Structure 1
């Protein structure tokens, strides 16, 4: 999503005629593009996914900071944002240039390099970063295996340290890259993130996947969520991601049809409450249907976990609310089956829109 703001001036006695051939520039573009912010750019070596997640205190950060290209890499260009860095650096990587050489050459040609913060990571995990002198507030960057994180005008270095720690903790776990990026971004956000305060805040995540059949788009994008303005932008980013991927827990289940119903069946099956001894497949004829058998399995689980059921406590038949989802995962953890279930559900919770 790209938003353009147009300014209209009404005058009673003045008529302005643009000069022939001169493009009219929206009023909001007359100042320099500034995204003081923090972000993470990363790759997943198992899948070849590349992505960026970012949040800031000004609107529509997704329109300027994150740049990704399937099979190539990812770029975050922020502070006094120069959007041209996105394609310039990705083009250089595509030609076989290293991130370090590409960034060094780009900065050398930029008279405003001291006001920039730029990070680039290639699909093979090599990376480079630059943080200029910038404004009088904490700014810095950090690189790790398969990721780079950076920020400016932050409450302190603990923000990007939290982002890094979260992303490192999810390495090798059965989660899609977009999911991991949002979680890592939130780890920095809850510590204060951007030092400034204001009502207009935004966040974005963009991920591309070069594997055939993983995206409906020719550019391979599997996730492109741009929360232009929200009181809780990272929380809204998570809500949208979970809703679009139909991740179990994004809605309260009673009797519905959808990908989250399939996930519920897999979890109940692993715990022995649904089709014990059978294998639950995503392509089955009733995989996404909340059938009477599913309702009975939910009620049996709730009864075993001492939760309310139609017979005990008067809860609706087959009720799957936030507490039920939490209890299901807790039961899977206790039985040592959580990781295997997450691995089975991985494809079923992916965005392909």
Structure 2
């Protein structure tokens, strides 16, 4: 019989198995994970949870990849699933510590408990071994861990629906279940090994490669990319990329669109310092790249118009503004107040554009 760690009896069973090495802290952690089950029983407000009841939830038919970028210290994961909101249930991460994938008959407690163990000196292999050995539902689980040192561990339970499997290479693990075949995991691994550039884009490319190879045998519904970095002093959070497409007929297409939009915005943030230093050639390059990365980003077209106007290309600037307004008619209200375009406020073409 399969159990979910959220059931009080099972969560205590698991924590006792780990506490022999991890200490009393994990017992406290377990109670913190479900305090209502203890408090409510004492107060008599509701009956205790039956520790033998089965966990019932959507089966996360999923393929995913977790990875480390050694040049930045970033940890990331990409996932696609024929299940609603896989990104909300299939991944856990902490910058500078580890990234964890928990899928198939997914148990989200594997995430925070793996983080706790790794922070206390366990290797991913040791942490996953402790969790799997204490989990009566392990045969239906699929889990993978990569830590900030690139150490990996993965588990595919014997009763996970075919095709299911995993492959761990240098600085990554690729895994999946209910796939069209082993080639899905294989091409994810090959794509990641052959790629360069920002971690989020490498993960995105690996997901696309997996889908071209057949992907989830049940189809597509949701996808997500999460990238975290070691938290520096004063940082509010560790998330660099956190994009989720919870329900879509082509989730990877939408995921790519949003990722490109974010990357376009990152390029735009490089422009103001360059303009301030008078480096207009470099600023123009960033603006053009931002437009190319996300042609539907009206902010990018406005930024390009600004740089073109500064370089004396009035016609090019007007053309970029026309595109921006076509993408976002609300720009007609904001452009007249933008001091970057003060020199063309009386220009007939500009006035026609804003409806003046």
TM-score (norm 1): 0.63
**8 A contact 2:66–2:100 mirrored in 1:** yes
Matching of residue 112 in structure 1 with residue 137 in structure 2 = yes
| Counterpart in the other structure of 1:174 | 197
Deviation at 1:185, TM superposition (A): 1.3
Higher normalized contact order (CA 8 Å, seq sep 6+, divided by chain length):
1
* 3-state SS of paired residue (2:126): helix
- Report what 2:228 is aligned to: 208
Once the two structures are superposed, the pairs formed by residues 1-353 of structure 1 within 5 Å of their partners are 20-21=45-46, 31-170=56-195, 173-175=196-198, 177-197=199-219, 201-212=221-232, 216-217=236-237, 220-246=238-264, 258-259=268-269, 269=281, 289-291=303-305, 294=308, 317-318=319-320
Q: Distance in 2 between matches of 1:107 and 1:152?
A: 18
Confirm or deny: 8 A CA contact 1:295 1:317 kept in the other structure. no
Deviation at 1:212, TM superposition (A): 2.4
Distance in 2 separating the partners of 1:164 and 1:298? 48
- How many pairs does the alignment contain? 259
Structure 1 or 2, whichever has the larger Rg, is: 2
Structure 2 contact 74–227 (Cα < 8 Å) conserved: yes
Q: What SS does structure 2 have at the residue aligned with 1:159?
A: helix
CA offsets 1:319-341 (integer angstroms, 9 cap, x no match): 999xxxxxxxxxxxxxxxxxxxx
8 Å CA contact retained: 2:305, 2:320 = no
Cα separation, 2, equivalents of 1:131 and 1:114 = 8
Partners of 2:190 and 2:312 lie apart in 1 by: 36
Cα deviations by residue, 1:213-252 (Å, 9 ceiling, x for unpaired):
79642xx112221211011111111111221332599xxx
Look up the SS of the partner of 1:92 in the other structure: helix
Distance 1:78 1:240 in 2: 24
Structure 1 residue 22 displacement after superposition: 6.2
CA–CA separation in structure 2 for the residues paired with 1:273 and 1:63: 37
Let me know the Cα RMSD of the aligned residues.
Answer: 3.7
TM-score w.r.t. structure 2 length? 0.63
Please list every run of 5 or more consecutive structure 2 residues that lacks an aligned counterpart in the other structure: 1-43, 287-301, 324-356
Do 2:58 and 2:83's aligned partners in 1 also have CA atoms closer than 8 Å?
A: no
Change in CA separation of 1:292 and 1:179 when aligned onto 2, cut-off 3 Å: closer
Cα shift at 1:31: 2.1
The question of whether the paired residues in 2 share the 8 Å contact of 1:37 and 1:194 is answered with yes
Instruction: Give the structure with the larger helix fraction.
Output: 2
C-alpha displacement of 1:289: 3.5
CA 1:77 to 1:292, structure 2 compared with 1: closer, same or farther past 3 Å? closer
Gaps of 5+ in 1: 1-18, 250-257, 275-287, 300-308, 311-315, 322-353
- For 2:147 and 2:306, the matched residues in 1 are separated by 49
Conservation of the 8 A alpha-carbon contact between 1:33 and 1:82: no
The residue matched to 2:177 in structure 1 has which SS?
Answer: strand
Secondary structure of 1:161's counterpart equals: helix
